Structure 1
């Protein structure tokens, strides 16, 4: 479905069955953000910030606390200064008070954070999967810090409308590599979509997969799942049709096919303003590919968006496809340069796109 600024919302009907016991060191912190934490037991950041912080990284100067008891605009968590939430998300901006390096921070309940970050801990380091930089734990919340990002792929495609094949190949290769790495380690992503990939450089040439909290860790070779979890535009037909289990890895490949199609075409392969009609189109699995795409690009899209899960490429095989290994595309995508996309904007479509699919 055509892109809008808030289209990629998801829902989980059943709690994920997979957990992994973790052993993470508890780190003391100076101040909690919990709403029920007693106030004024520790000095607030209304005191002068670290003298070494550059002015642009310092928290906003705080006026005396009003009688209504409003929360301050910044808090100190261990060596980090937690700033405002990033626009349109529940993720905070943060800065290290000594190095002045910027980070993003997710706040999890202490009772659930080990389960939520288990996929990050299980995966071996990979250049296209975001690593956890540090975890700071308190009595009620855990603060998980990641390297800062420079925007996500959903926003980028929405701004650019569509990407030329050479640029799309360089970015999609990184996406496919991240998914293949997760599958190799027994992690099924389930809620895979454009917004899960973020840029790690200002030039927007390097991507990492983030938000692994929705993932499921497999207990063996069997990747069968029963819970239905995902974004309407990206959900596979077998999830809508099946009353029993389905292949989690094959469902991820379908979603990856939707990602590539949207990057190249500028809209989703299956679209309709009515959810029932949208799901009907996905169940039938019939879509069109513009003639403007190369034969190799069409082939890769169709190899992932096959209605039968068993007929789709596996994630590791995607990296071997000729479209991602063409000498001309490799030469151009290896040194991608930013481009001005402000002249093309994907319009917002029906409000139903903002709704969860189940």
Structure 2
């Protein structure tokens, strides 16, 4: 197993959860620059965190999901009530169809959305903070949703 970590040949098998796979993995194409497939998957994870639903939740089976991804269709992006415009731009960079055009991890770490989050001092919440007076960089200023419902979603 340790030998697999140092293999020089690219893995040509399709392994993973379809809803998190990049188009080039599903189509068996050249993965482009190093890490591009992982950036697509990162976008899927952030999308799920922002919306509370997995990518492609509107599709009923894995074959339909893989078909849509292979056609170059990104998953549905969050609304401005679910994620700020900077967060949506971050996701769009993760979901660039061409892996050579997809942002790298280094580029994404310099993205405005991440820099805003990094520069924000996070203080522990107190009961008096329950009014939701501070603005989160995760949600746009126009969002009317500021609490999670009993179903775990906004």
TM-score scaled by length of structure 1:
0.32
> Does 1:331 find its partner at 2:120?
yes
Task: Give the corresponding residue for 1:288.
Answer: 76
Cα distance in 1 for partners of 2:120, 2:112 equals 14
Deviation sequence 1:33-84 (CA, Å, 0-9, x none): xxxxxxxxxxxxxxxxxxxxxxxxxxxxxxxxxxxxxxxxxxxxxxxxxxxx
2:92 paired with 1:302: yes
Return the structure number with greater strand share: 1
| Larger Rg over CA atoms | 1
Please list every run of 5 or more consecutive structure 2 residues that lacks an aligned counterpart in the other structure.
131-146
Deviation at 1:337, TM superposition (A): 4.8
Gaps of 5+ in 1: 1-15, 20-114, 116-215, 347-358
Contact 1:226–1:246 (CA<8 Å) still a contact in 2?
no
**Residue number among 249, 252, 255 corresponding to 2:38 in the alignment:** 252
CA deviations on 1:180-224 (whole Å, 9 max, x unpaired) are xxxxxxxxxxxxxxxxxxxxxxxxxxxxxxxxxxxx4464xxx84
Match of 1:267 in 2: 53
User: 1:58-137 maps to which residues of 2 (within 5 A)?
Assistant: none
Which of 319, 322, 326 in structure 1 is aligned with 2:109?
A: 319
Counterpart mapping for 1:1-358 below 5 A: 19=3, 216-217=5-6, 219=8, 224-242=10-28, 245-247=30-32, 249-271=35-57, 272-284=59-71, 285-289=73-77, 290-292=79-81, 293-326=83-116, 330-332=119-121, 334-335=122-123, 337=125, 343-345=150-152
Secondary structure of the residue aligned to 2:36 is: helix
- The CA distance in 2 between the partners of 1:330 and 1:337, in whole Å, is 18
The structure with the greater share of residues assigned to helix is 2
Q: Distance in 2 between matches of 1:276 and 1:269?
A: 14
Q: How far apart are 1:267 and its partner, in Å?
A: 1.5
Following TM superposition, the consecutive aligned residue runs of length 4 or more in structure 1 with deviations greater than 3 angstroms are 216-219, 334-342
Aligned length: 129
Contact kept, 8 Å, 2:36 with 2:100, in 1: the verdict is yes
